[in-house]
């Protein structure tokens, strides 16, 4: 009976570790995707001084950032998820998100509430895109 109890504890611990590792991998991938999309938007922002969501590449990147924002927001109280997300953003190697600004970027992204409604179905809604464009412009200002 003792061994059965030990086996159950070990199984539970392994399952928790597996879920944590899986969550961390997902967070890292989300951070990488976000940083890559942010690079496209940042380059456009530096050229135009704003985020033009009528541009298909920018809109696609904005939807990726909005998706990453939603995932990060859903896990905002999970320190490991946030740490993995931030590490993923750095590891994307875009030179936009660096170890020096990564935490500030993640904090600014969490505060970018205008991204919550942006997806491929709402991208033609002027109110949604205006709100998202403002949120993204503020996010760009926080990067560098």
pTM of the full structure:
0.77
pLDDT tens-place string over residues 52-100: 888 889 888 988 999 999 999 999 999 999 999 999 999 987 788 999 9
pLDDT tens-place string over residues 13-28: 333 333 444 578 999 9
How far apart CA 76 and CA 70 sit, in angstroms, is 10
Q: Give which of 95, 66, 71, 96 is closest to 85, Cα–Cα.
A: 71
Give the mean pLDDT of the chain.
Answer: 79
CB neighbourhood size of 78 (10 A): 16
pLDDT tens-place string over residues 25-47: 999 999 999 999 999 999 999 99
- In this structure, are residues 125 and 143 in contact, taking their beta carbons and an 8 Å threshold? no
| Domain ranges (residues) in the chain | 25-143
Mean pLDDT of 1-7: 38
Q: Give which of 49, 34, 58, 46 is closest to 109, Cα–Cα.
A: 34
DSSP state of 125: -
Element counts in the chain: helices (H) and strands (E): 5, 0
Interior angle at CA 91, CA 86 and CA 93, nearest 5: 125
């Amino acid at each position: 009976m003792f061994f059965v109890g030990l086996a159950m504890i070990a199984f539970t611990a392994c399952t928790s570790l597996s879920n944590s590792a899986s969550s961390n991998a997902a967070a890292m991938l989300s951070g990488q995707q976000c940083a890559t999309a942010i690079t496209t938007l940042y380059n456009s922002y530096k050229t135009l001084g704003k985020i033009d969501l009528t541009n298909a590449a920018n809109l696609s990147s904005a939807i990726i950032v909005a998706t990453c924002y939603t995932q990060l927001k859903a896990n905002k109280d999970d320190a490991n998820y946030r740490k993995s997300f931030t590490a993923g953003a750095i590891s994307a190697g875009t030179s936009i998100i660096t170890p020096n600004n990564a935490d500030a970027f993640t904090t600014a992204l969490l505060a970018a509430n205008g991204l919550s409604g942006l997806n491929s179905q709402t991208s033609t809604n002027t109110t949604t895109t205006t709100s998202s464009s403002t949120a993204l412009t503020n996010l760009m200002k926080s990067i560098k």
